[in-house]
Structure 1
Amino acid sequence: MSERTESESRKLLGRLRDALAEDTAGQERLDRITHLIASSMGTEVCSIYLFRDDETLELCATEGLNPESVHQTRLRVGEGLVGRVARSSRVINSDNAPSEKGFRYMPETGEEIYSSFCGVPIQRLGDNLGVLVVQSKDARTYSADEVYALEVVAMVLAEMTELGAFVGEGAAMTARHQQPVAFKGSGAQEGAAEGHVWLHEPRVVVTNPVADDPETELARLSEAVETLRVGVDKMLATAARGDKEQLDVLEAYRMFANSKGWMKRMESDIARGLSAEAAVEKEQSAARTRMEQVTDAYLRERLHDLDDLSNRLLRILTGQGTETGADLPADPILVARNIGPGELLEYGRNLRGIVLEEGSVGSHAAIVARALAIPLVIHADRITTEALNGDHIMLDGDQGVVHLRPDDTVVAAFRDKIAMAAEAQQRYASIRDKPATTLDGTTISLHMNAGLMADLPSLENSGAEGVGLFRTELQFLVRNQMPKRTELAQLYSHVMDAAKGMRVVFRTLDIGSDKVLPYMTPQDEPNPALGWRAVRVALDKPGVMRMQLQALLRAANGRPLTVMFPFVAQYDEYTAARAEMDKALEREHILGHPLPENLEVGAMLETPSLAFAPQKFFEEVDFLSIGGNDLKQFFFAADRENERVRRRYDTLNVSFLTFLEGIVNRCVTTKTPLSFCGEDAGRPIEALCLAAMGLRSLSMRPASIGPVKSLLRRTNLGEVREVIVQARERGDQTVRPALMEYLRNTG
């Protein structure tokens, strides 16, 4: 790059900064900018197209095209060359625009006389804001230096858009971060919440995109990068005692921090006239664009590393987000791209709600959110781009909807919903100590699911008769290394103490699929939900299972103990796991440790295959618990992480209820205790049908016990069963419409 080119670029950026500093309205600023760019680059046309909504670009300013077309010409994403630039986030540089694929002639602009075209995306950290275009009559291809200069200018435009430079009287666009915005994601934990945004990774706002003194900026960048490298080296030194997998990740991290190519690109941006912060962010935006286009999982992870390093470098340069004294608001709703279980547990029950851009229904974050009973919405695309710390926010975990900076109408509706839920909970409190006995005299046992010590106070407050499922994997997921047997024994003992003699069903380690331990080598499986997980991992690598079984036996210290093996698909898997328990009992006896006064060993029925296991299995197992979430997805062949299909199949489908009835009948024949555990057990209508199918024990999240008990106590189970039988005889696909009509008719 020539010194003259660098100088010209700096001059243009200097003029832009002066134009942006003038006390003028937004539209006037945009008009001035297009004039400056066209004259500096020697082109007849410079135009700025900005997004009006997610799919529509609008011509907001132009030098050279028909002025009447400003705010009149609109394009869909992908439409014409401008729309192609917006869709691909890539530069289009052509000396013969009309011959290009996808060219669209816009007669109102008068652009037919211009042959050459160069379009550059205006974007900030993967957020596309618009397209910057220059055009000339001459058939010319713009040089690499000219394209680079346009990219730098586009970067500055993006920063100034973020700062609201184009808002005001006669504005070209509305103010960002001020308008109400609704996001439609997916509900991963039920409940409604209102509060104020707390960003897990606060946005760094670059307030000085243009700099006068490149030498000063280069020195600032160099100093910040050195601070970053020292920090990464410290992380490596700390992790040196950990496993090889973690070490390899951090080594890749250090490689990026020391990348000469990354440094050289940022230095070149500074030479063009950008500040150190803007140079870092320009390269970060380019990395995010590449990340969205890469399908290889390893490369995406490495680009994610570069993105994270850029965030760290920006915080060092600006000092934003590094202060440790920042306090959570009184009613925080956490907003993040994604978050690990350990980080989420650090926030604990302080949070009112959680909104994630990524995540899954079965992710670590979702498991912890359920354990803490915090409403969670996932797949809220681009909310971290739009939200600012302190923004008013409301979320509905039932519908998967988030309202950011909601208007008064939405606020009123949401508050009504929250008030109704609170009123209902008060009503449920009055029946807390009463049995879940139906009008025709059938009593259903209601138990709660848990996974943290923090869950246990709910045991008494909710009216649960015990813990139907204690997830033991959370203690493994939130650590960076395998917990010790003594630590687990102490934890399990505290759980039993807190239960005060009530039955606690401990599910052994359920890892694999979407629950990979931080210190466990991930398995590259095409379909992990059907892969190496749960009891399959335990039987192939029995060391961890033996350690956990010993911890449970020692925690019991002579008290009754109930243990359940997850994801058993066939009889011999249960017998192999049961044999491990027998070995653990023998070892504890030899060591002189007290054995449980009563030991129950059961299995989770989560695959259709186990429903057809030999009679001997049903006779030998001490109890069975239907894992409804997994069983339903395998019964319908519908991945519960896939939004397109997971809501397509109804739990009250006649086929599924008939299948469950078959399991109930087998257990009745062999007198095998049976329960149902899963999200559906906590939904009153579904719980009613499960009880009508013969299930007498249900396990759910604590907050669901009141609503389920309330409906059961007001319903005749025999009549509900008759409604189901009639729906089946009619050939209905689902019993839901008939059941809802029955409930309405009976009040």
Structure 2
Amino acid sequence: MPQGTETESRKLLGRLREALAEDSAGQARLDRVTQLVADSMQTEVCSIYLFRDSETLELCATEGLKPEAVHQTRMRVGEGLVGRIAKVGRPINAANAPAEHGFRYMPETGEEIYSSLLGVPIQRLGERLGVLVVQSKDERQYSEDEVYALEVVAMVLAEMTELGAFVGEGAALAARHQDPVMFRATVAQEGTAEGRVWLHDPRVVVTNPIADDPEGEHKRLHEAVDQLRLSVDDMLSNHDFADGEQRGVLEAYRMFANSRSWMRRMEEDIARGLSAEAAVEKEQSAARARLQAVPDAYLRERLQDLDDLSNRLLRILTGQGNQTGAEMPDNPILIARNIGPGDLLDYGRKLKGVVLEQGSVGSHAAIVARALAIPLVVHAERITTEALNGDQIIVDGEQGVVHLRPEESVAKAFRDKIAMQAQAQERYAGLRDQPAEALCGTRVSLLMNAGLMADLPSLEGSGAEGVGLFRTELQFLTRNKVPRRGDLAALYQRVIRAAKGRPVTFRTLDIGSDKVLPYMKREDEPNPALGWRAIRLGLDKPGIMRMQLQALIRAADGGPLNVMFPFIAQFDEFREARGRLLEEIERERKLGHPLPSKLQIGAMLETPSLAFAPRQFFELADFISIGGNDLKQFFFAADRENERVRRRYDTLNVSFLALIEHVVERCAETGTPVSFCGEDAGRPIEAMCFAAMGLRSLSMRPASIGPVKHLIRRVDLKEARRVIHEARDSGAQSVRPAIMDWMGRTGWAV
């Protein structure tokens, strides 16, 4: 292609469109593409390498290399120059390729006579599909126009691959979006579900990557961009901002929407023969590639803004998306890269489950999913590119596995598992009004965790004796500004009344880490789980804490009130927080407002340091709740977001149980009530062992109360404690094997 002029580029794309429109098999189409590109760019070789699996590239078509090498030559990602292009997602332009570092000679291809190489990635919105390569005998540096032209061809190949253009008899590729796929993910909310895929942000499919009328495409692009800019201006004028942070985000949005360089690049793409949609997506793919390589968090967020704007622009151009009236399937399971708490609450209990590519076990979405009692798994990589609306899907929130388009044998086994769980729940329903009393006469109080008013009906159905943890952050996370004190007081009062006399323990605002308020400046911390969060943030932001404490006092309306402060690491933090609550009590007294008839002030023990606090702490606290999720990760120095280590350490490890026993003993010395709250409290074996170690109160999700009560009522906790101590004395690392063996021998197996 002489200097890759715009006319020649459009000619090549026009010839490509004709070839791709021919009624031929997938392999024949790929072969024709390599011939056209080699001819147009005046190179001896054009080759297409495509992914066979996530780590292996295969030579799928070539003009110039030995034909017998097709479908025989394979390489790993990162191997050779082609493998390096696939790994880094950027072109390589080498005048003397054999002299390049990492060059790998493939003798079966006959490429030894070629010196120069230009290769570009075939990728679509961050999804790697393969590599497009041209080679020449002469040592030559390919021009910028030639690099650009090859990138445009690669982009068209990616779009046509998405549309299935290379599938069929003798095909180079298997049909996409048809085969069963299994994803391993991280459990953020336990549970199981089967249903149909509902994409929160469905992928836009560009069906017309090549266009003949550049003027018409320029006009379509400008009209769409004008509409995009107006929508961003509307967001800025119609939002009520609590502070300048959110306005700053939307101002950055507007800056990108008005970017001349962004517009110029898309206009150049159209001039070379792409449609308006393809031009937008080409620049979006380039932004995605840069996004993955940028270490700076601020720049990553700005590139994310550009990515989101590109999605909006594509939807304007194509009219595609959920807003076009697509109908949600029965038993929908939501699939998304990530999702905010407000969006998830909008879906509500219609959803059977949620699967996210990103997210975290402590994220906003996880909190809402727990409140809605629907299974949630996170870190399911690439599921948004693989799933289509309406696909059958199974979510195993116990094992962290997702089956997309499962084989019938897998689906049948899963349905059998769900049926068994349903039968078990029916058995547990008969225990609803029975106490969790062990054979030895020990009684354990089982409470439920909550975060929404919608959770409260579960008090009756589950048999919970009260709410051991009401998370108050959801009302802050789902709004664009700080909620008003009166609104919070009204909500807390409805919670207390819905409990119908049962105790409710309110945990004050637990934000920070990955729970960041939308109207609060985000702190870029290297390890946010150990950073400025929960009580630390509350003590540093006294206005928010004071407002929430006032709302809680007024919600009690003269009745009892239980308040718990989260993430206390040392005695002084609790003493200061308690003092602020008592100050608000005194202020309310002076205002003539009713005061709580009984005020209980407690702390969450989530750091090992607090287990060794001075005796005065245990004397001053009215109650203590062991926050098992955080305590476990800090005790073992194992990030619960990291799949490589989160399952490495057993909750029934003798050291962890020794810490629990130590806390129980210290509380017994001062007569301080102590409970355990967290995921492990809802696992029957773990719950039984906690009770055996002296805990007499456990707080869990409502669905776990039946199974836990069922087991406790069938065992002798004194015997269980003896087995635990014997296992510990024997030098065992975990008491689980001994406990399971004992339960099997005595006929108490779950």
> TM over 0.5, yes or no?
yes
Structure 2 contact 201–322 (Cα < 8 Å) conserved: no
SS at match of 2:562: strand
Contact 2:681-2:700 within 8 A present in 1 as well: yes
1:448-467 residue CA offsets vs partner (Å, 9 max, x unmatched) = 00000010010110010000
1:474 paired to 2:480: no
What amino acid sits opposite 1:33 in the alignment? V
Alpha-carbon deviations, 1:208-249, whole Å to 9, x = none? 000001010011001101100111111111236441011111
- Residue in 2 that maps onto 1:511: 511
Question: What is the alpha-carbon distance in structure 2 between the residues aligned to residue 603 and residue 208 of structure 1?
Answer: 60
Aligned residue type for 2:46: C
Amino acid at match of 2:501: G
Does the 8 Å contact 1:452/1:474 carry over to 2? Answer: yes
Q: 1:387 aligns to what?
A: 387
Alignment of 1:186-201 (within 5 A): 186-201=186-201
Partner of 2:165: 165
1:686 aligned partner: 686
Supply the distance in 2 between the matched residues of 1:510 and 1:4 (Cα, whole angstroms): 58
Q: Distance in 1 between matches of 2:185 and 2:106?
A: 36
- Distance between the aligned counterparts of 2:538 and 2:684, measured in 1? 35
Aligned residue in 2 for 1:281: 281
Partner of 1:645: 645
Is the CA contact 2:50–2:57 (under 8 Å) kept in the aligned structure 1?
yes
1:533 aligns with 533
The residue that corresponds to 1:79 in the other structure is 79
- Give the drift of 1:540: 2.0
Q: Which residue of 1 aligns with 2:451?
A: 451
Partner of 1:350: 350
Change (3 A) 1:323 1:621: closer
Aligned residue in 1 for 2:663: 663
Aligned to 1:493: 493
* Residue matched to 1:315: 315
How far has the Cα of 1:166 moved from its partner?
0.4
Once the 2 structures are TM-superposed, how far is the Cα of residue 726 of structure 1 from its aligned partner?
Answer: 0.5
The verdict on how the C-alpha distance between 1:33 and 1:335 changes in structure 2, with shifts beyond 3 A counting, is: same
Question: Counterpart of 2:231?
Answer: 231
- Please show how residues 37-116 of structure 1 align to structure 2 within 5 Å: 37-116=37-116
Match of 1:595 in 2: 595
Structure 1 distance, partners of 2:101, 2:572, is 62
Structure 1 length-normalised TM: 0.98
Render the CA deviation track for 1:298-337: whole Å, top value 9, x for unaligned.
0100000000000000000001116353332121101000
Q: Is the 8 A contact 1:561 1:599 kept in 2?
A: yes
| Residues 122-131 or 518-527, more deviating | 518-527
How far 1:256 sits from its partner (Å)? Answer: 0.6
TM-fit CA distance, 1:524: 2.6
Shift of residue 134, structure 1, vs aligned partner: 0.7
Asked whether the equivalents of residues 464 and 702 of structure 2 are also in contact (C-alpha less than 8 Å), the reply is yes
**2:685 maps to amino acid:** I
Query: Could you list the per-position Cα deviations for residues 102-156 of structure 1 after superposition, in whole angstroms to 9, with x for gaps in the alignment?
Result: 1111111111111111111111001010111111111111111111111000110
**What is aligned with 2:542?**
542
Q: SS of 2:398's equivalent?
A: coil
User: Mapping of 1:233-382 within 5 angstroms?
Assistant: 233-239=233-239, 241-321=241-321, 323-382=323-382
Q: Tell me, yes or no, if the aligned pair for 1:535 and 1:566 is still in contact at 8 Å.
A: yes
1:578-657 matched pairs, under 5 angstroms:
578-657=578-657
On the 8 A contact 2:3/2:146 being kept in 1, the answer is no
Q: What residue in structure 2 maps to residue 413 of structure 1?
A: 413
Q: Which amino acid aligns with 2:263?
A: M
In the aligned structure 2, how far is the partner of 1:2 from the partner of 1:72? 33
**Deviation string, structure 1 residues 647-702 (Cα, Å, up to 9, x no partner):** 21111110111111111111111111111111110011110110010000000000
Q: CA deviation at 1:2?
A: 9.9
> Do 2:240 and 2:480's aligned partners in 1 also have CA atoms closer than 8 Å?
no
Contact 1:89–1:121 (8 Å) recurs in 2: yes
C-alpha distance in 2, partners of 1:85/1:620? 63
Structure 2 gaps of 5+ residues are none
Q: Amino acid of the residue matched to residue 735 of structure 1?
A: V
By how many angstroms is 1:535 displaced? 1.5
Structure 1 residues 322 and 336, CA gap change in structure 2 (3 angstroms):
closer
What is the SS of the residue equivalent to 2:5? helix
**Could you say what secondary structure the match of 1:58 adopts?**
strand
Separation in structure 2 between the aligned mates of residue 46 and residue 327 of structure 1, nearest angstrom: 44
The residue number in structure 1 matching 2:402 is 402
Q: Equivalent residue for 2:736? A: 736
- Kept in 2, the 8 Å contact 1:57–1:83? The answer is yes
CA distance in 2, matches of 1:262, 1:28: 36
Distance 1:188 1:586, change over 3 A: same
Q: Which amino acid aligns with 2:448?
A: M
| 1:323 aligned counterpart, secondary structure | helix
**Alpha carbons 2:4, 2:149 under 8 Å: kept:** no
CA distances 1:609-668 after superposition (whole Å, capped 9, x unpaired): 221222222122111111111111121122222222222111111011111111111111
What is the DSSP-based 3-state SS (H/G/I as helix, E as strand, rest coil) of the residue aligned with 1:60? strand
**Aligned partners of 1:239 and 1:246 also within 8 Å:** no
Q: Distance in 1 between matches of 2:407 and 2:80?
A: 36
1:151 is matched by which residue type in structure 2?
Answer: E
Question: Match for residue 149 of structure 1?
Answer: 149
- Contact persistence 2:429–2:706 (CA under 8 A): yes
State the distance in 1 between where 2:413 and 2:484 align.
49
Q: Which amino acid aligns with 2:571?
A: Y
The corresponding residue for 1:700 is 700
C-alpha offsets along residues 707-728 of structure 1, whole Å, 9 cap, x if unaligned?
Answer: 1111111111111111101111
> CA offset at residue 4 of structure 1?
7.5
1:363: how far off? 0.8
Checking the alignment, whether the CA contact within 8 Å between 1:187 and 1:378 is kept in structure 2 is yes
Give the Cα separation in 2 of the matches to 1:540 and 1:129: 49
CA displacement 1:545-576 (0-9 Å, x = unmatched):
11111111111111111111111222222221
Asked if structure 1 preserves the Cα contact closer than 8 Å seen for 2:2 and 2:41, the reply is no
Measured in 2, the distance between the counterparts of 1:419 and 1:114 equals 63
- Distance in 2 (CA, whole Å) between partners of 1:123 and 1:524 is 31
Give the superposition deviation at 1:529: 1.7
Whole-angstrom CA distance in 2 between matches of 1:322 and 1:421? 34
Letter in 2 for 1:548: Q
Q: 1:602 Cα deviation (Å)?
A: 1.0
How far apart, in 1, do the equivalents of 2:121 and 2:378 lie? 28
Structure 1's 324 and 206: CA in aligned 2 closer, same or farther, altered over 3 A? closer
Whichever residue aligns with residue 16 of structure 2, its letter is L
Aligned residues: percent identity?
A: 75
> What residue identity is the alignment partner of 1:211?
A
- Mapped partners of 2:422, 2:284: distance in 1: 45
1:50-85 CA deviation, whole Å, 9 max, x = no partner?
111001111111111111111111111111111111
Give, in angstroms, the shift of residue 90 of structure 1: 0.8
CA distance in 2: counterparts of 1:587 and 1:568, whole angstroms:
25
Contact 1:240 1:247 survives alignment (8 Å): no
Gap runs ≥5 in structure 1: none
Determine the C-alpha separation between the residues in 1 that align with 2:92 and 2:329: 46
Contact 1:315 1:322 survives alignment (8 Å): no
Question: d(CA) in 2 for partners of 1:66 and 1:499?
Answer: 76
Aligned to 1:295, the other structure's residue is in SS state: coil
| Residue of structure 2 equivalent to 1:422 | 422
Over aligned residues, Cα RMSD in angstroms? 1.3
